[in-house]
Amino acid sequence: MMRERIDCDVAIVGGGIVGGSAALFLRQARLSVTLLERDWCGAKASGVNFGGVRRQGRPLEQLPLSQRAHAIWGRLPDLLGTDAEYIRSGHLKLARSEPDLASLIDYRERSQGFGLGLEIVTGEAFRRRWPALGDRAIGGSLCPEDGHANPRLVSPAFARAAAKLGAVVREQTPVDRVEKDGDRFVLLSGDALEVRARFLLNTAGAWSWRVAEAFGEPVPLESLHPNMAVTEPLPRFLDVNIGVEGGGVYGRQVPRGNMVVGGGRGFALDADRARPQRDAVLTLMRDAAELFPQLRHAHVIRCWTGVEGYTPDRNPIIGPSRTTPGLFHAFGFSGAGFQIGPGVGQTLAELVTGGETPMPLEAFSIDRFPPTA
Amino acid sequence: MSELLPPVIVGAGPAGIRAAERLVAAGLRPVVVDEAARWGGQIYRQPPDGGFTRPKTALYGFEAGKADAVHRAMAAIRDRVDYRPRTLVWNCEAGALDLLSDGTSEILPFSHLILATGATDRVLPFPGWTLPGVFTLGGSQVALKFQGCAVGRRVAFLGTGPLLYLVAYQYLKAGVEVAGVFDTTPFAAQARATTGMLRDPATLAKGLLFVGWLRAHGVPIHNGVRPVRAEGAERVEALVWRDARGQERRTGCDAVAFGLGLRSETQLADLAGCRFRFDEADRAWLPERDGAGCSSVPGVYLAGDGSGIAGADAAELAGERAALALLEDLGRPVEAARVKELDGRLARIAAFRRSLSAAFPFPVDWAAAIADDTMICRCEGITAGAVREVARSGQAREMNRAKALTRVGMGRCQGRMCGATMAELLSRTLGTGPDGVGRLRAQPPIKPLPIATIVPSPRGGEGTDGREVA
Question: Which chain B residues are Cβ-neighbours of A280 within 8 angstroms?
Answer: 461-464
A304·B451 Cβ contact <8 A: no
Question: Do A248 and B464 count as a contact with CB atoms less than 8 A apart?
Answer: yes
Q: What is the pLDDT of residues A108-135, one digit of tens each?
A: 999 999 999 999 999 999 999 999 887 8
A73 exposure class (CB count in 10 Å sphere: 0-12, 13-18, 19+): buried
Q: Which domains does chain A have, with CATH numbers?
A: 4-50+152-220+312-368 (3.50.50.60), 91-144+226-305 (3.30.9.10)
Could you give the CA distance from residue B334 to residue B301 in angstroms, rounded to a whole number?
Answer: 16
B88 and B133 part of one domain: no
**Residues of chain A positioned with their CB less than 8 A from the CB of B267:** none
Q: Are residues B132 and B253 in the same domain?
A: yes
**Is A372's pLDDT higher than 80?**
no
pLDDT given for residue B237 in this prediction: 98
CA distance B372 to B458: 47
Beta carbons within 10 angstroms of residue A70's beta carbon: 23
Examine residue B57 and state whether it is found in any structural domain, yes or no. yes
Q: What average pLDDT does this structure show over A133-157?
A: 95
The answer to whether residue B27 neighbours chain A at the CB level (below 8 Å) is no
Instruction: Compute the mean pLDDT over every residue in chain A, rounded to the nearest whole number.
Output: 96
**B14 plus B38 within the same structural domain:** yes
Q: Are residues B116 and B148 in the same domain?
A: no
| A-B contacts at Cβ under 8 angstroms | 146
* Chain B residues touching residue A303 (CB < 8 angstroms): 443-445
Name the residue among B60, B41, B65, B45 with its Cα closest to residue B116. Answer: B41
Which DSSP letter does residue A248 get? S
Q: Please report the residues numbered 385 through 424 in chain B whose beta carbons come closer than 8 angstroms to any beta carbon of chain A.
A: 395, 401, 404-405, 410-412, 414
CA distance A55 to B49: 58
Give B-chain residues touching A57 at CB under 8 angstroms. 468
* Structural domain boundaries, residue B77: 8-120+263-334
**B458 in contact with A at a CB cutoff of 8 Å?**
yes
Contact B239, B179 (CB under 8 A): yes
Query: Is residue B269 assigned to a domain?
Result: yes
Q: Is residue B1 in some structural domain?
A: no
Answer whether B107 touches A (CB < 8 Å): yes
Report yes or no: B145 and B55 within 8 Å, Cβ to Cβ.
no
- B344 inside domain: no
- Distance (Å, whole) CA A323 – CA A325: 7
Q: Provide the pLDDT for residue B465.
A: 44
Question: Which of B451, B454, B462 to probe by mutation at the A interface, max A CB count within 10 Å?
Answer: B451
Distance (Å) from the C-alpha of residue B110 to the closest C-alpha of chain A?
16
A208 within 8 A of A331, measured Cβ to Cβ: yes
Rounded distance, CA A284 to CA A307, Å? Answer: 19
The answer to whether residue B438 sits within a structural domain is no
Q: CB distance A280–B462 less than 8 Å?
A: yes
Strands B113-115 and B8-10: parallel
Does residue B412 sit within a domain? Answer: yes
Put simply, the answer to whether A303 touches B468 (Cβ < 8 Å) is: no
The full length of chain B comes to 470
Using an 8 Å Cβ cutoff, are A151 and A178 in contact? no
Residues 6+ apart with CB under 8 A from A78: none
**Which residue of chain B is at minimal alpha-carbon distance from A292?**
B451
CB A64 within 8 A of CB A363: no
pLDDT digits (tens, 9 = 90+) for B260-292: 999 999 999 999 999 999 999 999 999 999 999
Looking at the predicted structure, is the pLDDT value of residue A207 above 50?
yes
Residues 58-97 of B with CB under 8 A from A: 91, 93-94
Across B260-299, b (16+ Cβ under 10 Å) vs e yields bbbbbbbbbbbbbebebeebebbbbbbbbbeebbbbbbeb
For chain B, the domain total comes to 3
Residues B220 and B287 in one domain: no
B300 and B184 together in one domain = no
Contacts of B470 in chain A (CB under 8 A): 49-52, 54, 151, 226, 250, 262, 335-336, 338-339
Question: So what's the pLDDT on residue B4?
Answer: 80
HSE-CB at A333 with a 13 A cutoff on CA atoms is 33
ipTM: 0.94
Task: Identify the segments of chain B with pLDDT beneath 50.
Answer: 1-2, 460-466
Inter-chain residue contact A54 with B395, CB threshold 8 Å: no
Give yes or no for residue A293 having a pLDDT over 80.
Answer: yes
* Spatial distance between the Cα atoms of A102 and A100, rounded to a whole number of angstroms: 5
**Whether the Cβ atoms of residue B263 and residue B281 lie closer than 8 Å to each other:** no
| Burial (CB count within 10 angstroms: exposed 0-12, middle 13-18, buried 19+), residue A255 | exposed
Return the pLDDT at B188: 74
Adjacency order of strands within the sheet including A139-143: A119-122, A139-143, A91-95, A241-244, A250-253, A259-265, A226-231, A299-304, B449-450
Domain boundary pick from B290, B312, B334: B334
Query: Which residues of chain A have a CB within 8 Å of the CB of B414?
Result: 301-302
- pTM score of the predicted model: 0.94
Domain boundary among B287, B314, B334: B334
Nearest by CB to A49, which of B91, B458, B469?
B469
The pLDDT mean for chain B works out to 91
Contacts of residue B105 in chain A, CB cutoff 8 Å?
282
| Residues B275 and B209 grouped into a single domain | no
Q: Are B127 and B252 within one domain? A: yes
Query: Residue A150: pLDDT above 60?
Result: yes
Alpha helices in B274-362 (DSSP H): 311-329, 336-359
Among residues B469, B108, B167, which one has the least CA distance to residue A227?
A: B469
Of A1, A329, A24, whose CA–CA distance to A164 is shortest? A24
Domain boundary among B260, B292, B322: B260
Cβ-based neighbours of B326, under 8 Å, separated by 6 or more: B7, B19, B23, B112, B114, B301
The pLDDT value recorded for residue B351 is 85
Q: Can you give the pLDDT at residue A238?
A: 94
Whether residue B357 contacts residue B308, with contact meaning beta carbons closer than 8 Å, is answered with: no
Distance from CA of B253 to the nearest CA of A (A): 33
Same domain, residue pair B174 and B246: yes
Is residue B328 assigned to a domain?
yes
CB contacts of A50 in chain B (<8 Å) are: 469-470
Distance from CA of A183 to the nearest CA of B (A): 35
* B102 close to A (CB below 8 A): no
My answer on whether B219 and B113 are in the same domain is no
Q: Please report whether residue B446 resides in a domain.
A: no
Tell me the nearest-neighbour CA distance from A203 into chain B, angstroms: 17
Say if residue B133 is in the same domain as residue B203.
yes
Q: For residues B208 and B328, state if they share a domain.
A: no
B/e letters for A41-56, b = 16+ CB within 10 Å, e = fewer, are bbbbbbbbbbbbbbbb
Q: Report the CATH number at residue B414.
A: 1.10.10
Q: What is the CATH number of the domain that holds B52?
A: 3.50.50.60
Helices (H), B45-180: 56-60, 64-77, 137-142, 162-173
